[in-house]
Amino acid sequence: MKKPIDLKHLAARNEQLIISLLRKHGPMSQAQLRKMASLSSSTASYIVGRLRSKQLITETQGKSKNRGPKPVLVTINPTGCFAIGIEINPNTAIVGLFDFTGRSIEEITTPLANNHSPQNVCNIIEINLRGLLAKHDIAPDSLAGIGVALSGSITPDGTVELSSPLAWKSVPLKKLLQNRLPAPVTICTTRVRLLAEMEIEPDASYDNVLYLNIADGVGSHVIIDGKLLHGSANRTGEIGHIIVTPNGPTCGCGHKGCLEAIISAPAITKKMQKDIANGTSTTLTKTLTPEDTPQLAIEKLAQAAKENDPYALSIRTFIADHFAQAAAIAINFCDPEIIIIAGYLSKHFYPHLKAAIEKSFPTNVYDSETRKIKIKPAKATKNPLTTGAAITILQNTTKP
């Protein structure tokens, strides 16, 4: 038997479609919207009317062409509603306030100073979130929701089963936060980075994407045939836990020799400190301190490499070679047309990472000569996790 059409659900879906087109392409006429959304003109005007009455869109007069009538342009109302995007990483908790267009209004970054216990992180998030709402005079009921992104495996009920960089196991994060925050909480994986990337790269309409990230952890996200893959337990793309050095350093996941335990920023920082303690000659001896965060340590490494310090150059090659080895496995597996390289470590060494992957094509990638794989750096480099988490909320929101 055919299911009856759920009109309310259908209208909500069309509203989300119209909003996402406006967010991606900017103001446009109702006729353009109708065409892009493949809606009949009566449906389009009904949906636009609904969105107008909820104050989620406004209509303004555009410029006329050749003295013709001025077209009416439909625009997202930035203050129609708001979202909070949060990133938790081992060094900082970042709380960002975003308007309905997905633009960041303000972000507060708080160092965790080695205390990334769930209790401390939740306290910081609550204080900063309430502070942001008060400062910008935003009533909690105009918040569409709160998206929290972190590296780890998340169950559908918002429990962090395992976060290797944070060393969290079975933390009921959604429950902990929902009890103290004024809007619905959604816990996201770092996969939302890809949303942030696609948001600012509207032309990136690739159906097969391999997104590789090196920062506090090492991970990947995969779009195959236009679909972002999640997997049976939300663990798709755990490239950081491919073992590249058997019996190598112990990873946060408990295994030995994972890529993440070798080339993530914390792993590289640890390696540099150990090498220096063992007497390696490098200019980093003067600049690197034990208090440096991995982010700062990687900046110092990049600077030393720029100045052609032989040790820094060897570390750069070490990162690129291990990275390319795992990337080739991922390429063979998911057949991408584009590889996007992201993360605060990669940002310093992008040309070398790209070159290392390309160098590995003839020996490590199946049938590489007939394939045309583009490699690009990520564009969403400023807090892509808070942006991605906020966009996750906004994409699913058009108010009841």
Binding segment for Zn ion (CB under 5 A), chosen from 83-91, 244-252, 334-342, 343-351, is 244-252
State the number of binding residues for Zn ion (CB under 5 A): 5
97 or 212: CB nearest Zn ion: 212
Q: Does 241 bind Zn ion (CB under 5 A)?
A: yes
Shortest Å, Cβ 39 to Zn ion: 47
> Shortest gap between Cβ of 251 and Zn ion (angstroms)?
3
Q: How far is the CB of 290 from Zn ion (least distance, A)?
A: 24
- Closest approach, Cβ 261 to Zn ion, in A, equals 6
Q: Residue 250 CB, nearest distance to Zn ion (Å)?
A: 9
User: In degrees to the nearest 10, what's the CA dihedral of 20, 24, 29, 35?
Assistant: -70
Piece of the chain touching Zn ion by CB under 5 A; list 100-108, 233-241, 373-381, 384-392: 233-241
We find the least distance from the C-beta atom of residue 161 to Zn ion, in angstroms, to be 14
| Min dist. Cβ of residue 266 to Zn ion (A) | 13
Strands 218-224 and 227-228: antiparallel
- By the rule CB under 5 A, 253 interacts with Zn ion: yes
β-strands 338-342, 209-214 pairing: parallel
- The residue among 27 and 252 lying less far from Zn ion, judged by its C-beta, is 252
Residue span binding Zn ion (CB under 5 A) among the ranges 135-143, 217-225, 247-255, 349-357 = 247-255
State the nearest-atom distance from the C-beta of 205 to Zn ion, in Å: 33
Return the CA Rg of the chain: 23
Pairwise CA distance, residues 199 & 378, whole Å: 12
Binding status of residue 375 toward Zn ion by CB under 5 A? no
Residue 251 touching Zn ion (CB under 5 A): yes
* Choice between 241 and 316, CB closer to Zn ion: 241
Closer CB to Zn ion, residue 151 or residue 387?
151
Token pair recorded at residue 292: 């440096």
Please identify, among the stretches 91-99, 109-117, 251-259, 375-383, the one whose residues bind Zn ion according to the rule CB under 5 A. 251-259
Name the residue nearer to Zn ion (CB basis): 52 or 255.
255
**List of residues 6+ apart from 81 with CB closer than 8 A:** 56, 100, 142, 143, 144, 394, 397, 399
Nearer to Zn ion, 93 or 263 (CB): 263
162 binds Zn ion (CB under 5 A): no
What is the nearest approach in angstroms of Zn ion to the Cβ of residue 219? 11
**258 or 304: whose CB is closer to Zn ion?**
258
Binding positions for Zn ion, 199-228, rule CB under 5 A = none
Q: List residues near Zn ion by CB under 5 A.
A: 241, 251, 253, 255, 258
